[in-house]
Amino acid sequence: MKLVRLIRHGESAANAGAATQDHASIPLTEHGVDQARRVALSFANTPDLIVTSPFSRALATAQFTTSAFPSVPMATWPVQEFTYLEPARCVNTTVAQRRDWVHEYWNQANPSLVDGDGAESFLEFVSRAQTFLRRLAAHPSKDIVVFSHGQFINVVAWLIERQPTEIDSQAMTDWREYEIANHVENCGGYVLVYEQSDSGWRLMPRIGEGAVLRARLS
Q: Which of the four pLDDT bands, split at 50, 70 and 90, describes residue 218?
A: very low
Using an 8 Å Cβ cutoff, are 51 and 143 in contact? Answer: no
Q: Which letter does DSSP use for residue 109 in this model?
A: -
- Rounded mean pLDDT of 136-158? 97
Report how far apart, in Å, the C-alpha atoms of 69 and of each of 9, 40, 47, 61, 162 are.
Answer: 18, 9, 8, 14, 35
Please give the Cα distance from 203 to 133 (Å, whole number): 12
| Residues 88-112: tens digit of each pLDDT | 988 988 889 999 999 999 999 999 9
- Rounded mean pLDDT of 10-22? 86
The yes-or-no verdict on residue 207 having pLDDT over 70 is: no
| Residues 28-41: tens digit of each pLDDT | 999 999 999 999 99
Q: Which of the four pLDDT bands, split at 50, 70 and 90, describes residue 155?
A: very high
Report how far apart, in Å, the C-alpha atoms of 205 and of each of 70, 129, 195, 202 are.
Answer: 30, 19, 17, 10
User: Closest by alpha carbon to 123, among 139, 110, 138?
Assistant: 110
Domains of the chain: residue spans and CATH: 2-214 (3.40.50.1240)
Using an 8 Å Cβ cutoff, are 210 and 38 in contact? Answer: yes
Model's pTM, two decimal places?
0.93
